[in-house]
Amino acid sequence: MDAEEKALKKLEQRLYRYIKEYKFRRKDIDEREVEEEVFDENTLKTLYELSNEGIIAELYGVVAAGKESRVYGGVTEDGEPIAIKIFLITTAEFRKGRMKYILGDPRFEEVGRSIHKIIYLWAQKEYRNLKAAYEAGVYVPRPIAFKNNILVMEFIGDEFQPAPTLKEYKRITPHMLYQILRQIYLLYNKAELIHTDLSEYNIFYYKRKPIIFDFGQAVSIKHPMAETFLTRDISNILNFFRNRGIDISLTVEDVLEYIKG
C-alpha cells in the first residue's frame, strides 16, 4: 500500500467508525435513514476526493446537525482546523413529502440527478458568497473549498468546539452591535451582498469579533427583494440587542441610512 492508499484507508476507517457511533447514538430513528442521512455514496466519494487533494486530512465528529446540513470538524493536510459543511441530499424532512416515492424509483432517475444538482449549487453558492464577503474584509470563516455537496471552511472555535454564537454569548455589549452593523455595512457596500438570514444564531462571537456565517441564502444587493431582506436583517439584530437589555436609540431607518448612505 502506498502512502496515498494508506491515508485513504485511514480516512475510510474513521468515516465508518463515525457512522457506527452516530447510529449508536441515534438508535431511536430508522437505521436505514440514518445511514443515508450521514454519508450517502456520493458524499463518501466526494470526501475521498477532497482527502486526495489534501483538503481534508482528518475528519472528526459532527459539531452541528441541522435539517439540511451537518457540520463536522476536521483538519487539512497542513493541520489547519476546518469546518466541513455537508448538505444532505435525502434528509428526513425531504423524505416526508412525496419525494420518497420518486427518489429510488429508477423511472425517475432524472429527478434524482437534478436534486443532486440543486444541492450542489447550494454548496457552491455558499462558497461564493463566503468568498465575496471574505475578500470584502467582512469577518466570516475563510472559505477553503467546495465540491459537490460539501463546503470546507476555516473552523471558528477551539478544539472542535464551535465558538459561541451571539445567542449563546453571555456578555452582550453595545460595542458588539456597532461591530455587527459595521459588518453589514461592509457586506452591503464592498461585497454587494445581503445575508437575508442574519440573526443571533448565525453570528459567532470569537476573539472579540462578530463572525457572520451560514451564507447559503445570501443575495445580491440588486435582488428585487433586497430592501425587504436588508430591513429584516437589521431588525433581527436590533431586536436581539434590545431584548438583551441594550438600550438603543437607533431605529431600522437610521441603520438603513448608515448602510445605504
Ligand X SMILES: Nc1ncnc2c1ncn2[C@@H]1O[C@H](COP(=O)(O)OP(=O)(O)O)[C@@H](O)[C@H]1O
Q: How far is CA 87 from its chain centroid?
A: 9
Burial per residue of 60-82, b for 16 or more beta-carbon CB atoms within 10 angstroms, e otherwise: bebbeeeeebbbbbbbbeeeebb
Catalytic residue among 28, 40, 214, 233: 214
Q: Which of 95, 117, 39, 24 is CA-nearest to residue 72?
A: 39
Q: Select the residue interacting with ligand X from 91, 166, 202, 212 (CB under 6 A).
A: 202
CB of 197 to Mg ion, least distance (A): 7
Scanning residues 13 to 52, which ones bind ligand X (CB under 6 A)? none
Task: State the binding string over 196-215 for Mg ion (x if CB under 5 A, else -).
Answer: ------x-----------x-
CB 90 within 8 A of CB 40: yes
Q: How far apart are CA 109 and CA 187, in angstroms?
A: 40
| Residue at grid coordinates 472528526 | 60
Q: Select the residue interacting with ligand X from 38, 57, 59, 83 (CB under 6 A).
A: 83
Q: Is 64 in the site for ligand X (CB under 6 A)?
A: yes
CB of 129 to ligand X, least distance (A): 11
Total residues contacting Mg ion by CB under 5 A comes to 2
| Residue at grid coordinates 430591513 | 231
Torsion of CA 117, 119, 120, 121, to 10 degrees: 90
Q: Is 143 in the site for ligand X (CB under 6 A)?
A: no
**CB of 83 or CB of 238, closer to ligand X:** 83
CB of 58 to ligand X, least distance (A): 15
Q: Is 205 in the site for ligand X (CB under 6 A)?
A: no
Residue 98: burial class (beta carbons within 10 Å; 0-12, 13-18, 19+)? exposed
Catalytic residue among 30, 40, 158, 197: 197
* Annotation says 214 is catalytic: yes
Q: Where are the alpha helices (DSSP H) in 158-217?
A: 174-189
**CB of 111 or CB of 118, closer to ligand X:** 118
Q: Select the residue interacting with ligand X from 74, 143, 162, 210 (CB under 6 A).
A: 162
Positions annotated as catalytic residues are 197, 214
Q: Which residues bind ligand X (CB under 6 A)?
A: 63-64, 66, 68-69, 71, 83, 85, 141, 153-157, 162, 165, 202, 213-214
